Amino acid sequence: MNLKDISNKDLGIRRNWYALLLTVVLIGVFIWGLAQYRAKTQLNTFVEYSYQRSFYELIQNVENVDVLLAKGLVSTSPRQNILLFSNAWRESYAAQEKLNQLPVAHQTIEKTSKFLNQVGDFSFTISRQITDGQDISQEQRTKIHDLQKDADFLASELHSLQDNIRNNEYAWGEIRQQGSSKFKEVSPQLSEVGFQKINTQMEGMPTLIYDGPFSDHIIQLNPQGVTGTPISAEEAARIAMKKADLLPDIQYNYNQMGTGEGKIPIFRIEIVSSMGQFPDQIMIDISRTGGHVVNYMNSRPLGAAVLDGIQAQEKAIAYLKNKGFPELIPTYAQVDDGSATIAFAGIQGGVVLYPDQVKVKVALDNGQVIGVEALGYLMTHHERNLVEAKVPAQEVSDRVAKRLKVEEIRQAVIPLETRQEVQCWEVKGSLEGEDFYLYYNVLDGKEERVLKVIKTPQGPMTV
Protein backbone atom coordinates (compact mmCIF):
# COMPACT_ATOMS: atom_id res chain seq x y z
CA MET A 1 0.00 0.00 0.00
CA ASN A 2 1.52 3.33 -0.99
CA LEU A 3 1.39 6.60 0.89
CA LYS A 4 -1.42 7.94 -1.26
CA ASP A 5 -3.65 4.98 -0.42
CA ILE A 6 -2.89 5.39 3.29
CA SER A 7 -3.70 9.09 3.09
CA ASN A 8 -7.01 8.44 1.35
CA LYS A 9 -7.85 5.79 3.93
CA ASP A 10 -7.10 8.15 6.81
CA LEU A 11 -9.16 10.83 5.12
CA GLY A 12 -12.06 8.43 4.78
CA ILE A 13 -11.78 7.42 8.42
CA ARG A 14 -11.78 11.07 9.49
CA ARG A 15 -14.83 11.79 7.33
CA ASN A 16 -16.66 8.83 8.81
CA TRP A 17 -15.68 10.01 12.31
CA TYR A 18 -16.89 13.53 11.59
CA ALA A 19 -20.13 12.17 10.18
CA LEU A 20 -20.61 9.98 13.27
CA LEU A 21 -19.80 12.89 15.57
CA LEU A 22 -22.21 15.15 13.69
CA THR A 23 -24.90 12.48 13.93
CA VAL A 24 -24.35 12.13 17.68
CA VAL A 25 -24.49 15.91 18.10
CA LEU A 26 -27.69 16.15 16.06
CA ILE A 27 -29.27 13.33 18.03
CA GLY A 28 -28.20 15.05 21.26
CA VAL A 29 -29.65 18.36 20.11
CA PHE A 30 -32.85 16.59 19.07
CA ILE A 31 -33.15 14.86 22.44
CA TRP A 32 -32.41 18.12 24.28
CA GLY A 33 -34.93 19.99 22.14
CA LEU A 34 -37.52 17.29 22.69
CA ALA A 35 -36.91 17.44 26.44
CA GLN A 36 -37.23 21.23 26.41
CA TYR A 37 -40.41 20.98 24.34
CA ARG A 38 -41.89 18.46 26.74
CA ALA A 39 -40.84 20.57 29.73
CA LYS A 40 -42.39 23.66 28.16
CA THR A 41 -45.55 21.74 27.32
CA GLN A 42 -45.77 20.41 30.86
CA LEU A 43 -45.17 23.90 32.24
CA ASN A 44 -47.85 25.41 29.98
CA THR A 45 -50.26 22.69 31.05
CA PHE A 46 -49.39 23.33 34.68
CA VAL A 47 -49.91 27.08 34.34
CA GLU A 48 -53.13 26.61 32.36
CA TYR A 49 -54.45 24.32 35.07
CA SER A 50 -53.52 26.92 37.67
CA TYR A 51 -55.46 29.62 35.80
CA GLN A 52 -58.47 27.33 35.34
CA ARG A 53 -58.44 26.44 39.02
CA SER A 54 -58.22 30.11 40.05
CA PHE A 55 -61.13 31.02 37.78
CA TYR A 56 -63.25 28.09 38.99
CA GLU A 57 -62.56 28.99 42.63
CA LEU A 58 -63.31 32.66 41.87
CA ILE A 59 -66.78 31.68 40.67
CA GLN A 60 -67.31 29.53 43.76
CA ASN A 61 -66.21 32.35 46.06
CA VAL A 62 -68.50 34.91 44.41
CA GLU A 63 -71.44 32.49 44.53
CA ASN A 64 -70.74 31.89 48.22
CA VAL A 65 -70.73 35.66 48.84
CA ASP A 66 -74.10 35.93 47.08
CA VAL A 67 -75.61 33.12 49.19
CA LEU A 68 -74.16 34.33 52.50
CA LEU A 69 -75.41 37.89 52.00
CA ALA A 70 -78.85 36.57 51.06
CA LYS A 71 -78.95 34.45 54.24
CA GLY A 72 -77.86 37.44 56.28
CA LEU A 73 -80.86 39.37 55.01
CA VAL A 74 -83.37 36.83 56.34
CA SER A 75 -81.63 35.64 59.50
CA THR A 76 -82.64 37.27 62.78
CA SER A 77 -80.21 35.37 64.98
CA PRO A 78 -77.23 37.51 66.08
CA ARG A 79 -75.10 34.38 66.44
CA GLN A 80 -75.94 33.19 62.91
CA ASN A 81 -75.39 36.64 61.44
CA ILE A 82 -71.93 36.89 63.00
CA LEU A 83 -70.99 33.61 61.30
CA LEU A 84 -72.66 34.54 57.99
CA PHE A 85 -71.03 37.95 57.62
CA SER A 86 -67.68 36.70 58.89
CA ASN A 87 -67.74 34.01 56.19
CA ALA A 88 -68.83 36.57 53.58
CA TRP A 89 -65.76 38.61 54.54
CA ARG A 90 -63.46 35.62 54.02
CA GLU A 91 -65.10 34.57 50.74
CA SER A 92 -64.86 38.12 49.36
CA TYR A 93 -61.14 38.34 49.99
CA ALA A 94 -60.59 34.85 48.60
CA ALA A 95 -62.46 35.91 45.43
CA GLN A 96 -60.34 39.05 45.11
CA GLU A 97 -57.16 37.01 45.43
CA LYS A 98 -58.26 34.54 42.75
CA LEU A 99 -59.33 37.40 40.47
CA ASN A 100 -55.87 38.99 40.67
CA GLN A 101 -54.26 35.66 39.75
CA LEU A 102 -55.93 35.67 36.32
CA PRO A 103 -53.99 36.96 33.27
CA VAL A 104 -56.29 39.94 32.77
CA ALA A 105 -55.26 43.58 32.48
CA HIS A 106 -55.41 45.51 35.75
CA GLN A 107 -57.60 48.23 34.24
CA THR A 108 -60.20 45.61 33.26
CA ILE A 109 -60.67 44.18 36.73
CA GLU A 110 -59.76 47.15 38.95
CA LYS A 111 -63.34 48.10 39.87
CA THR A 112 -64.41 44.50 40.36
CA SER A 113 -61.43 43.91 42.62
CA LYS A 114 -62.37 46.96 44.66
CA PHE A 115 -66.00 45.79 44.78
CA LEU A 116 -65.00 42.43 46.23
CA ASN A 117 -62.75 44.05 48.80
CA GLN A 118 -65.45 46.45 49.88
CA VAL A 119 -68.01 43.67 50.18
CA GLY A 120 -65.57 41.98 52.53
CA ASP A 121 -64.96 45.18 54.48
CA PHE A 122 -68.67 45.89 54.86
CA SER A 123 -69.39 42.31 55.93
CA PHE A 124 -66.64 42.54 58.53
CA THR A 125 -68.08 45.82 59.84
CA ILE A 126 -71.56 44.29 60.19
CA SER A 127 -70.14 41.24 61.98
CA ARG A 128 -68.25 43.43 64.44
CA GLN A 129 -71.30 45.61 64.98
CA ILE A 130 -73.48 42.63 65.88
CA THR A 131 -70.80 41.35 68.24
CA ASP A 132 -70.93 44.73 70.01
CA GLY A 133 -74.66 44.16 70.61
CA GLN A 134 -75.97 46.50 67.90
CA ASP A 135 -78.72 45.48 65.50
CA ILE A 136 -78.50 45.81 61.72
CA SER A 137 -80.28 49.02 60.72
CA GLN A 138 -82.80 49.22 57.91
CA GLU A 139 -80.39 51.37 55.92
CA GLN A 140 -77.68 48.73 56.30
CA ARG A 141 -80.10 46.00 55.23
CA THR A 142 -80.81 47.99 52.07
CA LYS A 143 -77.09 48.23 51.40
CA ILE A 144 -76.64 44.51 52.03
CA HIS A 145 -79.47 43.83 49.57
CA ASP A 146 -77.76 46.00 46.93
CA LEU A 147 -74.42 44.25 47.49
CA GLN A 148 -76.08 40.85 47.23
CA LYS A 149 -77.66 41.79 43.90
CA ASP A 150 -74.29 42.99 42.60
CA ALA A 151 -72.66 39.73 43.71
CA ASP A 152 -75.41 37.77 41.96
CA PHE A 153 -74.84 39.78 38.78
CA LEU A 154 -71.08 39.21 38.93
CA ALA A 155 -71.52 35.46 39.45
CA SER A 156 -73.82 35.30 36.43
CA GLU A 157 -71.35 37.20 34.25
CA LEU A 158 -68.48 34.98 35.35
CA HIS A 159 -70.50 31.92 34.35
CA SER A 160 -71.10 33.52 30.94
CA LEU A 161 -67.39 34.11 30.55
CA GLN A 162 -66.70 30.50 31.51
CA ASP A 163 -69.13 29.30 28.83
CA ASN A 164 -67.57 31.61 26.20
CA ILE A 165 -64.08 30.35 26.93
CA ARG A 166 -65.20 26.71 26.89
CA ASN A 167 -67.31 27.02 23.73
CA ASN A 168 -64.59 28.87 21.81
CA GLU A 169 -61.84 26.61 23.18
CA TYR A 170 -59.75 29.53 24.35
CA ALA A 171 -56.94 28.91 26.81
CA TRP A 172 -56.07 31.25 29.66
CA GLY A 173 -52.45 31.02 28.59
CA GLU A 174 -53.46 32.32 25.16
CA ILE A 175 -55.32 35.20 26.77
CA ARG A 176 -52.25 35.95 28.88
CA GLN A 177 -49.95 36.00 25.84
CA GLN A 178 -52.23 38.14 23.66
CA GLY A 179 -53.40 40.55 26.36
CA SER A 180 -56.63 42.43 26.90
CA SER A 181 -57.57 42.43 23.20
CA LYS A 182 -58.02 38.66 23.35
CA PHE A 183 -60.05 39.01 26.56
CA LYS A 184 -62.40 41.46 24.85
CA GLU A 185 -62.69 39.06 21.91
CA VAL A 186 -63.59 36.20 24.25
CA SER A 187 -66.14 38.13 26.26
CA PRO A 188 -66.84 41.71 25.14
CA GLN A 189 -69.95 41.80 27.33
CA LEU A 190 -68.02 41.04 30.51
CA SER A 191 -64.99 43.20 29.75
CA GLU A 192 -67.00 46.22 28.60
CA VAL A 193 -70.69 46.27 29.54
CA GLY A 194 -70.48 44.01 32.57
CA PHE A 195 -67.68 45.76 34.39
CA GLN A 196 -69.07 49.16 33.44
CA LYS A 197 -72.35 48.19 35.07
CA ILE A 198 -70.52 47.20 38.24
CA ASN A 199 -68.63 50.49 38.17
CA THR A 200 -71.90 52.42 37.85
CA GLN A 201 -73.54 50.48 40.66
CA MET A 202 -70.55 51.04 42.93
CA GLU A 203 -70.99 54.81 42.73
CA GLY A 204 -73.85 54.51 45.19
CA MET A 205 -72.07 52.15 47.57
CA PRO A 206 -71.79 53.07 51.23
CA THR A 207 -68.67 54.41 52.85
CA LEU A 208 -67.12 51.28 54.30
CA ILE A 209 -65.32 51.64 57.61
CA TYR A 210 -62.73 49.01 58.46
CA ASP A 211 -59.03 49.06 59.15
CA GLY A 212 -58.22 46.85 56.19
CA PRO A 213 -56.06 47.99 53.29
CA PHE A 214 -58.90 48.57 50.79
CA SER A 215 -61.53 50.29 52.93
CA ASP A 216 -62.85 53.69 51.87
CA HIS A 217 -61.39 55.49 54.87
CA ILE A 218 -57.98 54.60 53.42
CA ILE A 219 -58.74 54.78 49.70
CA GLN A 220 -60.24 58.27 50.01
CA LEU A 221 -57.00 59.59 51.51
CA ASN A 222 -54.00 60.83 49.60
CA PRO A 223 -51.02 58.47 49.85
CA GLN A 224 -48.89 59.75 52.71
CA GLY A 225 -46.25 57.04 52.53
CA VAL A 226 -45.26 57.51 48.88
CA THR A 227 -42.05 59.50 48.99
CA GLY A 228 -39.23 60.11 46.53
CA THR A 229 -38.89 61.26 42.93
CA PRO A 230 -40.38 59.91 39.70
CA ILE A 231 -38.67 56.83 38.27
CA SER A 232 -38.50 55.29 34.81
CA ALA A 233 -39.98 51.98 33.70
CA GLU A 234 -36.47 50.50 33.54
CA GLU A 235 -35.78 51.58 37.11
CA ALA A 236 -39.08 50.03 38.18
CA ALA A 237 -38.09 46.74 36.54
CA ARG A 238 -34.75 46.71 38.35
CA ILE A 239 -36.48 47.40 41.66
CA ALA A 240 -39.00 44.63 40.99
CA MET A 241 -36.21 42.12 40.35
CA LYS A 242 -34.61 43.08 43.66
CA LYS A 243 -37.80 42.97 45.71
CA ALA A 244 -39.14 39.67 44.34
CA ASP A 245 -38.32 36.53 46.29
CA LEU A 246 -36.62 34.63 43.46
CA LEU A 247 -35.31 31.11 43.78
CA PRO A 248 -31.53 30.60 43.60
CA ASP A 249 -29.95 28.96 40.56
CA ILE A 250 -32.92 29.97 38.40
CA GLN A 251 -32.58 32.51 35.61
CA TYR A 252 -35.37 35.09 35.43
CA ASN A 253 -36.46 37.66 32.86
CA TYR A 254 -38.83 40.60 33.23
CA ASN A 255 -41.44 42.12 30.98
CA GLN A 256 -42.87 45.61 31.31
CA MET A 257 -46.64 45.14 31.26
CA GLY A 258 -47.59 48.81 31.23
CA THR A 259 -48.84 51.31 33.79
CA GLY A 260 -51.78 51.65 36.15
CA GLU A 261 -53.50 54.74 37.50
CA GLY A 262 -55.31 55.31 40.77
CA LYS A 263 -54.29 56.85 44.07
CA ILE A 264 -50.81 55.43 43.56
CA PRO A 265 -49.81 55.35 39.85
CA ILE A 266 -47.70 52.27 39.16
CA PHE A 267 -45.53 50.44 36.67
CA ARG A 268 -46.57 46.77 36.35
CA ILE A 269 -43.70 44.32 35.92
CA GLU A 270 -43.98 40.61 35.08
CA ILE A 271 -41.16 38.24 36.10
CA VAL A 272 -40.87 34.71 34.69
CA SER A 273 -38.19 32.04 34.69
CA SER A 274 -36.27 32.31 31.43
CA MET A 275 -36.02 28.56 30.64
CA GLY A 276 -39.20 27.38 32.31
CA GLN A 277 -37.34 25.63 35.14
CA PHE A 278 -39.97 26.68 37.67
CA PRO A 279 -43.57 27.82 37.14
CA ASP A 280 -43.22 31.22 38.83
CA GLN A 281 -45.83 33.71 37.58
CA ILE A 282 -44.89 36.98 39.26
CA MET A 283 -46.55 40.38 38.93
CA ILE A 284 -45.21 43.39 40.84
CA ASP A 285 -46.69 46.88 40.94
CA ILE A 286 -44.02 49.52 41.59
CA SER A 287 -45.05 53.11 42.36
CA ARG A 288 -44.02 55.55 39.67
CA THR A 289 -42.94 57.91 42.45
CA GLY A 290 -40.21 56.62 44.71
CA GLY A 291 -40.22 53.03 43.42
CA HIS A 292 -42.19 51.51 46.32
CA VAL A 293 -43.67 48.01 46.15
CA VAL A 294 -47.46 48.46 46.09
CA ASN A 295 -48.49 44.90 45.33
CA TYR A 296 -46.56 41.72 44.61
CA MET A 297 -48.07 38.36 43.71
CA ASN A 298 -46.57 35.05 42.59
CA SER A 299 -49.48 32.92 41.42
CA ARG A 300 -47.51 29.70 41.04
CA PRO A 301 -49.23 26.46 42.12
CA LEU A 302 -48.45 25.42 45.69
CA GLY A 303 -47.16 22.03 46.78
CA ALA A 304 -47.76 20.11 49.98
CA ALA A 305 -47.12 22.15 53.13
CA VAL A 306 -43.92 21.40 55.05
CA LEU A 307 -43.80 24.59 57.14
CA ASP A 308 -46.09 25.77 59.93
CA GLY A 309 -47.32 29.27 60.70
CA ILE A 310 -44.42 30.13 63.03
CA GLN A 311 -41.85 29.12 60.42
CA ALA A 312 -43.73 31.10 57.77
CA GLN A 313 -43.64 34.18 60.00
CA GLU A 314 -39.89 33.82 60.39
CA LYS A 315 -39.55 33.64 56.59
CA ALA A 316 -41.68 36.79 56.22
CA ILE A 317 -39.63 38.70 58.80
CA ALA A 318 -36.38 37.70 57.08
CA TYR A 319 -37.75 38.73 53.69
CA LEU A 320 -38.77 42.21 54.86
CA LYS A 321 -35.40 42.75 56.51
CA ASN A 322 -33.36 41.49 53.54
CA LYS A 323 -35.38 43.46 50.99
CA GLY A 324 -35.00 46.79 52.76
CA PHE A 325 -38.59 47.31 53.96
CA PRO A 326 -39.14 49.73 56.88
CA GLU A 327 -39.32 48.49 60.48
CA LEU A 328 -42.49 46.42 60.93
CA ILE A 329 -43.77 44.01 63.57
CA PRO A 330 -46.06 41.00 63.01
CA THR A 331 -49.58 41.34 64.39
CA TYR A 332 -51.39 38.18 63.25
CA ALA A 333 -51.12 35.24 60.86
CA GLN A 334 -53.64 33.24 58.87
CA VAL A 335 -52.98 29.85 57.24
CA ASP A 336 -55.03 28.85 54.22
CA ASP A 337 -54.63 26.74 51.04
CA GLY A 338 -50.95 25.91 51.42
CA SER A 339 -49.87 29.43 52.33
CA ALA A 340 -49.70 31.71 55.35
CA THR A 341 -50.53 35.42 55.32
CA ILE A 342 -48.76 37.43 58.00
CA ALA A 343 -49.92 40.97 58.74
CA PHE A 344 -47.31 43.50 59.82
CA ALA A 345 -47.86 46.94 61.31
CA GLY A 346 -45.63 49.97 61.44
CA ILE A 347 -43.97 51.01 64.69
CA GLN A 348 -42.82 54.38 66.01
CA GLY A 349 -41.14 54.83 69.36
CA GLY A 350 -42.43 51.46 70.53
CA VAL A 351 -46.04 52.35 69.59
CA VAL A 352 -47.75 49.99 67.13
CA LEU A 353 -49.26 51.78 64.11
CA TYR A 354 -52.13 49.54 63.02
CA PRO A 355 -53.22 51.69 60.04
CA ASP A 356 -49.74 51.25 58.50
CA GLN A 357 -50.21 47.64 57.46
CA VAL A 358 -48.25 45.35 55.15
CA LYS A 359 -49.36 41.80 54.43
CA VAL A 360 -46.84 39.15 53.43
CA LYS A 361 -47.90 35.80 51.97
CA VAL A 362 -45.55 32.83 52.36
CA ALA A 363 -45.76 29.49 50.53
CA LEU A 364 -45.70 26.61 53.01
CA ASP A 365 -44.09 24.18 50.55
CA ASN A 366 -40.70 25.94 50.44
CA GLY A 367 -40.96 29.19 52.44
CA GLN A 368 -40.90 31.44 49.38
CA VAL A 369 -42.64 34.81 49.74
CA ILE A 370 -45.36 34.79 47.08
CA GLY A 371 -47.24 37.94 47.95
CA VAL A 372 -46.87 41.42 49.44
CA GLU A 373 -49.72 43.89 49.85
CA ALA A 374 -48.49 47.32 50.92
CA LEU A 375 -51.28 49.66 49.79
CA GLY A 376 -52.49 50.28 53.36
CA TYR A 377 -49.00 51.22 54.50
CA LEU A 378 -48.34 53.53 51.56
CA MET A 379 -51.69 55.27 51.97
CA THR A 380 -51.37 56.05 55.67
CA HIS A 381 -47.73 55.97 56.76
CA HIS A 382 -46.33 59.20 58.16
CA GLU A 383 -44.59 60.45 61.28
CA ARG A 384 -47.22 60.66 64.05
CA ASN A 385 -47.32 63.29 66.76
CA LEU A 386 -47.44 60.81 69.60
CA VAL A 387 -48.40 62.04 73.07
CA GLU A 388 -47.35 61.15 76.57
CA ALA A 389 -49.93 58.91 78.21
CA LYS A 390 -51.88 60.74 80.93
CA VAL A 391 -53.47 57.51 82.08
CA PRO A 392 -50.80 55.01 83.20
CA ALA A 393 -50.85 51.37 82.14
CA GLN A 394 -51.51 50.17 85.67
CA GLU A 395 -54.66 52.30 85.94
CA VAL A 396 -55.89 50.86 82.67
CA SER A 397 -55.20 47.35 83.95
CA ASP A 398 -57.24 48.12 87.07
CA ARG A 399 -60.18 49.26 84.91
CA VAL A 400 -60.37 45.97 83.06
CA ALA A 401 -63.03 43.54 84.24
CA LYS A 402 -61.65 41.52 87.13
CA ARG A 403 -62.54 38.26 85.42
CA LEU A 404 -60.31 39.10 82.46
CA LYS A 405 -56.76 37.77 82.77
CA VAL A 406 -54.45 40.50 81.39
CA GLU A 407 -51.58 39.05 79.36
CA GLU A 408 -50.01 42.11 77.74
CA ILE A 409 -50.37 45.90 77.64
CA ARG A 410 -48.76 48.13 75.03
CA GLN A 411 -49.52 51.34 73.19
CA ALA A 412 -51.01 51.38 69.71
CA VAL A 413 -52.55 53.78 67.21
CA ILE A 414 -55.87 52.53 65.83
CA PRO A 415 -58.31 53.97 63.25
CA LEU A 416 -61.81 55.05 64.29
CA GLU A 417 -65.06 55.10 62.35
CA THR A 418 -64.62 58.88 62.05
CA ARG A 419 -61.50 58.23 59.88
CA GLN A 420 -59.43 59.73 62.66
CA GLU A 421 -56.73 57.91 64.60
CA VAL A 422 -56.45 57.55 68.34
CA GLN A 423 -53.52 56.56 70.53
CA CYS A 424 -54.54 53.82 72.94
CA TRP A 425 -53.40 51.31 75.46
CA GLU A 426 -53.90 47.90 73.85
CA VAL A 427 -54.84 45.33 76.49
CA LYS A 428 -54.62 41.69 75.49
CA GLY A 429 -56.47 39.35 77.82
CA SER A 430 -58.40 36.11 78.12
CA LEU A 431 -61.63 35.04 79.77
CA GLU A 432 -62.72 31.41 80.06
CA GLY A 433 -60.57 30.39 77.10
CA GLU A 434 -61.66 33.32 74.91
CA ASP A 435 -59.16 35.99 73.84
CA PHE A 436 -59.95 39.72 73.71
CA TYR A 437 -58.25 42.99 72.76
CA LEU A 438 -59.41 46.13 74.52
CA TYR A 439 -58.33 49.67 73.58
CA TYR A 440 -58.30 52.58 76.07
CA ASN A 441 -57.50 56.19 75.15
CA VAL A 442 -54.12 57.13 76.65
CA LEU A 443 -55.36 60.66 77.47
CA ASP A 444 -58.63 60.02 79.28
CA GLY A 445 -58.86 56.24 79.66
CA LYS A 446 -62.02 56.02 77.52
CA GLU A 447 -62.71 52.56 76.14
CA GLU A 448 -62.47 53.07 72.38
CA ARG A 449 -62.94 49.53 71.12
CA VAL A 450 -63.30 45.91 72.21
CA LEU A 451 -62.39 43.07 69.85
CA LYS A 452 -63.03 39.39 70.39
CA VAL A 453 -60.69 36.85 68.80
CA ILE A 454 -62.50 34.06 66.95
CA LYS A 455 -60.35 31.00 66.39
CA THR A 456 -60.80 29.36 62.99
CA PRO A 457 -58.91 26.55 61.21
CA GLN A 458 -57.20 29.22 59.09
CA GLY A 459 -56.13 31.35 62.05
CA PRO A 460 -57.53 33.99 64.42
CA MET A 461 -59.86 36.77 63.33
CA THR A 462 -61.11 39.68 65.41
CA VAL A 463 -64.67 41.02 65.50
pLDDT (tens digit per residue) in 400-439: 767 778 888 999 998 875 567 899 999 888 877 778 888 8
Q: Between 407 and 169, whose confidence is greater? A: 407
Cα 202 to Cα 410: distance, rounded to the nearest angstrom: 39
Q: Is the pLDDT of residue 182 over 70?
A: no
Domain at 393-462: CATH code: 3.10.450
- Are the beta carbons of 317 and 329 closer than 8 angstroms? no
* Domain chopping of the chain, boundaries: 40-219, 234-380, 393-462
Give the model's pLDDT for residue 291. 93
Mean pLDDT of 78-82: 83
What single string gives the DSSP state of each residue in 392-407?
Answer: -HHHHHHHS-TTSEEE
Cα 360 to Cα 452: distance, rounded to the nearest angstrom: 23
Mean pLDDT of 348-371: 91
Give the model's pLDDT for residue 97. 80
pLDDT (tens digit per residue) in 284-312: 999 999 999 998 988 778 888 888 888 99
Residue 133 — left, alpha, or beta (φ > 0 → left; ψ -120 to 50 → alpha)? left
Cα 250 to Cα 238: distance, rounded to the nearest angstrom: 17
Mean pLDDT of 226-239: 91
What's the whole-number average pLDDT of the chain? 77
Q: pTM of the prediction? A: 0.58
- 8-state DSSP, 447: E
Out of 47-56, 67-76, 303-312, 371-380, pick the least confident: 47-56
Please compute, for residue 462, the number of CA atoms within 13 A of its CA located in the half-sphere on the CB side: 15
Least Cα distance to 123 among 81, 61, 158, 76 occurs for: 81
Give the model's pLDDT for residue 350. 92
pLDDT (tens digit per residue) in 10-61: 555 666 666 666 666 667 666 655 555 555 555 455 556 777 777 888 888 9
Q: Is the pLDDT of residue 341 over 80?
A: yes
| Burial call 33-69: b when 16+ CB within 10 Å, e when fewer | eeeeeeeeeebeeebeebbeebbebbbbbbbbbbbbb
Q: Between 208 and 68, whose confidence is greater? A: 68
Least Cα distance to 217 among 418, 356, 373 occurs for: 418
Q: Is the pLDDT of residue 349 over 70?
A: yes
Least Cα distance to 304 among 364, 255, 257 occurs for: 364
Q: Label residue 116 by pLDDT band (50, 70, 90).
A: confident
Give the model's pLDDT for residue 7. 55
